[in-house]
A and B are shown apart, each in its own frame.
Chain A
Amino acid sequence: MNVQDRRRLLGPANASPIVFSDVKEKKSKKIQAKPDDEISKMFINTGLVKNCDGSAYIEVGNTIIQVSIYGPRPIRGSFIDKAILSTECRFLPYLSQPNDSISRLTSSTSLITNYNGKLNLSNIEQKISSYIESCFLSCIYLENYPKSSIDIFIKILSVDTNLLNLVNDVVHCCSLAMVDAQIESKDLITSGNLRYLKSNNHIIMDPKCKDKDKDITNEVVEEGKLDLVVSFMNSRNDEIVGFWCEGNDTLEDDVLEKLIERCNDMSKEIRKNINFYLIESLE
């Protein structure tokens, strides 16, 4: 080539294109199947994020959640006698969100950016946000913080489970962050999550399985399945602060009562562990 393009900055003459080495499929960590009546192990840590008022990190299997809390911080504008609580839950953009029936429909519309290029919250994200918000509204002494706001930011870094199970872990992560932020609360919220299979009257505690995608004809893959997550204030007479049930079966009173009880057991168990962690971390 003797005609040189003088308008361009050229690279060195001996440049060669980059070549990637063959990408080897990394095997994802195989989680050992746990017995149905056991709670899966979790890794928790608090105070990792330094520029917020409280944060927590939780890892359960391949699911990773991080929560940061900002506040109580002052708000502008008119007087309010109680703090405003706001919650925002976001999945990292490349994650496929738990493909429960709820998100399935709107998956095409969920990834709409608004004018400032930020991704709008998808329905699943909104749903988780409101669940968390309604749990903590009953728990935080908001009246102790007039003229202020408390903002909870939930980041889902990785997800490998069904929706309600994820919500369960998010609740615990938020509770830990709440303690780390030193916000006055009535209690520490923990929750329990179950799957009930009607056919054999079987209860799976802390189910880690992903939901299968349903095809367009909406054929129900698993018949008679109920998913339940119940959040409690265990040291305040086991008050229920959050209740969410999904599934495709009718709900009988006696079954429900039993399921709530089992959720409560699970919640208490987790509470014990979280308490233990918090006391340890103080010492």
Chain B
Amino acid sequence: MILSPAERSYLYDSLSVQPPVRPDARSAHQFRPIEASCSFLPNSNGSSRVRLSDGGEAIVSVKTQVVLTKNESSLISIDVDINKERDDSNFIKNLISSLESILLKKFPIEKLKLTERYSFKVYIDCFILSHNSYPLGLLSLCIYLALKSTRLPLLTSTVNDREIEEQPTFNDDWEASKKLFEPSEHQDDPPLLFVVGIIGNNVFIDPSNEEEEVSENGLIVGFANGEIVPPVQSTNLSNRDSKGISPKHILKAYSMVRNCGKEVVKALNTVVSSDDDVFTSIY
């Protein structure tokens, strides 16, 4: 996206006054409204679709496969596919590694273990239909919903197959399936990543395309269970006019993400629970 110098300076000035006047009049901590649904792909263990008001849209499907544990290097595999982008492009690889870096640390791996020999392998396939702004935030919301709606079939065969070779068998009844992320005291919600733009002394969450274009710098901040978790990373949202930041910015972004994160999780969980009702009423 190219902006004219006059547009650029107008946007920059608007976003650097106190408090920032964002081009769509949002407040600094306000996300763009999204349209979300989950559990809509019948062949996936969990799925979600999120649309942004600017036309960005992503679909995430979570599928599981029973594998021999010893043959796998990892039980989670994340793949991102974007139209018009090569799979080995820097853009996609950076998205994947950011997502992996947070998901791996907060994944309930023990739930994937089926028997002594077998485990579930989880494939998280993300498909970005279109995006205008940096799609990491969108993707993270979408993955959250997909993981929250993921159900694993109930194992009916024995857990201990060390002595007797036996393929695991499962209960056909989908009602009996258990959720991968069941809210409980011991279990965390899936983690989220937020993108924060920085201009002047201001930080603002979920920057739109134009806001990214004039941002001096950006931060990717991880969030899980009401706390900030690594990775936290600076990133250039645009290739122009980037500037250094101060620790003040990072701390500001922190407290903003900490406050917003809880609200976002709450809102997303409502979506999951309402779609879950629909789901159980069908099956």
Residues of A within 8 A of B (CB): 82, 84-85, 101-102, 104-108, 112, 114, 120-121, 123-124, 126-127, 129-131, 133-134, 137-138, 216-218, 220, 226-227, 232-233, 236-251, 253, 256-257, 260-261
Contact = CB atoms under 8 A, between A and B. Distances in A.
Interface in B177-234: 217, 219, 227-234
B30 interface: no
B73 A216 contact: yes
Given A105-B74, A243-B232, A253-B254, A120 B242 contact: no
B246 A239 contact: yes
Contact of B247 (A105, A120, A127, A260): A260
Interface string B233-264: 11110011011111101110011000000000
Given A108-B73, A244-B231, A249-B230, 20 more contacts: A82-B240, A101-B104, A102-B97, A105-B73, A106-B97, A121-B93, A124-B97, A126-B97, A133-B236, A137-B236, A220-B105, A237-B246, A238-B246, A241-B244, A241-B245, A243-B232, A243-B250, A248-B230, A250-B229, A256-B250
Nearest to A130: B94
Given A244-B233, A251-B228, A105 B250 contact: no
B242 A105 contact: no
A226 B217 CA distance: 23
B104 A105 contact: yes
A123 B254 CA distance: 26
Given A82-B240, A134-B242, A218 B235 contact: no
Interface string B67-80: 00100111111100
Given A123-B93, A240-B245, A244-B233, A106 B100 contact: yes
Q: Is the interface of A mostly helix, strand, loop or mixed?
A: mixed
Contacts of B163: none
A251 B94 CA distance: 22
Given A245-B231, A256-B250, A239 B73 contact: no
Nearest to A124: B97
A263 B229 CA distance: 19
Contacts of B233: 131, 243-245
A240 B113 contact: no
Contacts of B250: 240, 243, 256, 260
A134 B235 contact: yes
A218 to B, nearest CB: 4
A253 B251 contact: yes
B235 A130 contact: yes
Contacts of A243: 219, 232-234, 245, 250
A250 B227 contact: yes
Nearest to B107: A218
Contacts of A236: 244
Contact of A138 (B96, B230, B244): B244
